[in-house]
Structure 1
Amino acid sequence: MTIVLTGPATLDATRISLVSSRLQGVIAKMRVDRNDRVEQGEIIAEIITDDLKSELGASQASVEAAHKAVDLAIADRKHAEAALANARQNFDRKKMLLEKTIASQESYDAAVATLRQAEADFDRSKAAIEQARALEASAAATAEVQRVKLEEGTIHAPFDGVVISRDHYVGDTITPGSEIVQLVDTASIILSARFDESSISRLSPGQKAVIRFNGGGRGASIMATVLRIGRQVDTETREFSVDLRPDTLPPNWALGQRGMTTIEIGTRKGVLAVSAAAIERRQGKPGVWIVDSGRAYWIAVTLGDAGGLFVEVVKGLQPGDVILSEPRDVYFGMKIAEGGARR
């Protein structure tokens, strides 16, 4: 007998993105709708950004003006450098002539003053270049901020996936953080199943499972594999979760969809088992109807593992006992014909 565990499961995903905007504005275009498949980088929506375009244009003009100011400051430095070189030559000449008593003290003093003025002008020209370059860097940084803001007006898909919800339309005003669409990576879809904590030691990654979704129909059952075992038990229900990776997805699926999962946990030989339909509970205790001397009698049994449509009986039955496989309206001592038919 193949031993299985059965428990409720819910369709979920580990990679879900609530695609939103960092800007406040009005949606100009919506490029996707529910159920659309998108690729990473594909445009989701566009926001009206006329104000940002104007601000970026002004910032770029400031950058150009700052660049010209740097060029002008460099030209001024070259002029101050030439003036300084000329003042030094004149000073050296006046000094030599003064030593030969050819030049007057007044002309020498004038040369000294001119040299000092030229040196001061040269130092100021260097400081002017540094200031101009600092203003250019500030203008460039402002323009970059405006450019990034403008790019944020176009919303892109963060990864390949399927749009599962859409909350806004063209003309809607959105604020930073407002969800525009919800995107799910189909490769990250899992089924989260729940089992009693007594079963945790019997499960391990790689075990095969079957998922049967509520509602039946085409694609209602799919194969899956145990992906991981939860490490936390609910303190109220005493259940833990198991994530299963589906081999395929049904034609129609939705996150939150419910189903039942059956996981194969091993095989047993020489097991005494009965059909699950033969079990009838009385006051919460399981039992079966046996046929003895042509009459039906209900007896309590102790159940073990389940295996598909069968349940192991560990106590209460003996091999060869005849039971009613699907008892209906049976009462104690009812006559049962050979083969299980009523009399």
Structure 2
Amino acid sequence: MLERDCGAEIQARVEAALDCAEPLSISGAATREAFNLLGPETSISLADHSGVIDYQPDELVLRVRSGTRLEDIAGLLQQQGQRLAADVPRPAPESTIGGAIATGWDGPERAFGVSLRDTLLGCGLVNGQAQLVNFGGQVMKNVAGYDLSRLQVGALGTLGVLLDVSLRLSPVAEYSASRAFQVAADDLPRWWQKTRQLRPLLRACCVYREQLHLRLQGRERAVVAALAGLGGEPSDFDWDGVRDLRHPFFHSDSLAVVQLPRFSLPRVATGETLIDWEGARVWVRQGDYPELVSAAQAAGGFVRALRGGPPQAEVPAAEWHRRIKQAMDPRQIFNPSLFARYFADGAQPLCR
């Protein structure tokens, strides 16, 4: 694992940008650009700012620099029988933890475990005044003051240059197994009721091409007993491929994701769909983007185009987006184009 502390260099770069009023585009390994998750320009790359700062296996806490590769983190934790508590996407081998925090996406396990936001215990960053600041801490019970660290999750680097993060860990499950079932769309609500009875063993569920795939994890005895009464066929569904957006389904010129606060499958989804989070997240390829936007807004959710189509929906402006940006980055130098695209018109929430 590459160990390099570039914090002083990054701070100096921000100071220089403030002196000449130069906007800065912030990126990591640039592995999420193909999915319209980050901007194409890069003025500051944190890919070399990497390495472990502190790892406490007994406390289930890890602190790493933002350019540390997710694969390196996974390898380190595997040696102790541990993993990141959240299901974090890795679009490519060089994907970094900083990019994961900036985009804020979660994998299929999100609906049955914890979100990436909930696993972030603290962070260090360079703010819009070129100051080194730290938020949160390195313990799970840290409630003093405002929880500004979690604002970084999904903020796309618009609130500061993320230098390091402290993350919550969890043990690797003893046993894992998947099952597949032929399910018609009209039967899905009944299945959502059934899957809730499988918790806490249920870790993921996806519907693809009229097949429902369930993944159970936990103690081997408990998982085997649950499977005995569940039926279905053994499944080799590519869960990592869905998590990392590398499943063949995602190879499309037109790809959008519909995120909803509750189960409400858009009936106007004219393209092929992949459904996870018990219907709260629906991936659509070759769909009608305006119709998807209307259906999602009617259900209280939102749509984001990952390929093809406009990057955001036209909705009323959110003043609080601008107020947070003004407080953290008063000179508006961090990823201003991304902020204008995704947040200035209130298209995406900074906190999801």
Range class of TM-score, shorter chain: under 0.3
Structure richer in strand, relative to its length? 1
Query: What TM-score, normalized to structure 2?
Result: 0.19
Larger Rg belongs to: 1
- Work out which structure has the larger RCO, using CA pairs closer than 8 Å and 6 or more positions apart in sequence: 1
